Structure 1
Amino acid sequence: MSVSAVKKGFLWTMLALLLSSGQAYAETKIPGLNFNIYEVDDPDAFVPALKIIALLTILGVAPAILLMMTSFTRIVVVLSFVRQALGTQTMPPNQVVLGLSLFLTFFTMGPVIDVIHERALTPYLEKAITQEQAVNETVAPLRKFMLREVKESDLQAFFNIAHLPKPNSMEDVPMRVLIPSFVVSELKTAFQIGFLIYIPFLVIDMVVSSVLMGMGMMMLPPTVVSLPFKLVLFVLVDGWGLIVDSLVRSFSLG
């Protein structure tokens, strides 16, 4: 068989394969997406589109909003302080810190989540309440949780900034004042806990530094020597268990 015959056979084979694949591709139905912009005479017909845009916008910022309205802020800041106090740099990694913070948030917010599921989500899915009622029933337990944890001094500060009159009761506090006040209060509490966490590790660093200076070992960084001692102390006292237990108990779970 000549070379030209082999080439012709190869070309015919490839052509047959292309034709068969093209036929199979033509028989396969591919879903399409159609998006049209057109004019309408009825203004009410434009309302559903606005609702969809508003819903997509809310979903984009909903995770950040929900995290700021829960116990996540205090937990993640305290756990970050623990890692810095130990001096382990990236141990545990950020993924572990954030993951543990999220699961501890789900645990501490359990009563609130149960109330939302019972009074808002389930009735709404069963079409027993409207969407507006479901939103109100969702915000109510979150608002109650924030009011328990927020400091009155922070509320007063934001009322003064906004030049708003002092409310007659805590139930009259608007959400635009309550949410930033709650976040600032959580940061204050987290930094107070972080300061207490730093004290024993700072003592170890000072003792190790004094011993090294007394021995004349000036060139040896104290953190290199103190790190094993801090890890041993942290493990012996069950540091993670104590910190998690203290964090959870610092919230009102009732």
Structure 2
Amino acid sequence: MQILYSKIIGEGSPLLILHGFLGMSDNWKTLGGQYAEKGFQVHLIDQRNHGKSFWSTEFDYDILAEDLKNYMQHHDLVKAGIIGHSMGGKTAMQFACTHPDLVNKLIVADIAPKYYPPHHDYILDALNALDFSTIASRSDAELQLSQHLTAQGIRQFLLKNLFWKEKNQLAFRFNLEVLSERMEEIGENIGATETFNGPCLFLRGEQSEYVVIADYPEIKKHFPNAEIQTIDRAGHWLHAENPKQFFDKSIQFLNT
């Protein structure tokens, strides 16, 4: 059994943080440190096919939730709070519904329990177009990416995944081949039919269309006690675009 890679910081009540699609645990390093300062043992987790975790051709939310269960057993965690963003939010929802006894509080960041049509194709096309045989530096990679992706913020987010695979060979930490093949699964709704009746907070970005009012009934169906709040002046990457308000709302929820 393979166990997800993580960075663990702080001492106290366990808090597991799950990144989104093409992300990694490092994306949450700053916020993770803030939670640790407030008395949490923070687990910054790389999901399978991301970051420093193992690669696998198997990839759906049932499997991602099972990875989380195995992780908690491996680290002797009886119960934990969970924060999940986007794809990580779906993993967290699936896990909370199927293993409610392992979750004390759930925070879902800018994602709903519903199907999302594939919409990252242009990013995957840009990544698959990179020719690493001609890339000798991060600036080379950014130059090639810029020919396909005009948004500098997205390029910088993706380039955080670059590492030196060998002395003169750069590569991405995520498993681009499998993630490209499994785009449909990433957009799928959670498979759980059960409900999670524990405390739950959904945070949506004011400028994001990922969670809309029409989604609220479905959220309440799976999570009857869910609160739904909005992060001002933020899109889908709400924790990066308004980290102060994200932290303030989340820590208040975790501490009550």
For this structure pair, what is the TM-score category when the shorter chain's length is used for normalisation? under 0.3
| TM-score relative to the length of structure 1 | 0.23
The structure in which a higher percent of residues are strand is: 2
| TM-score relative to the length of structure 2 | 0.23
The structure in which a higher percent of residues are helix is: 1
Which protein, 1 or 2, shows the higher relative CO under an 8 Å CA cutoff with sep ≥ 6?
Answer: 1
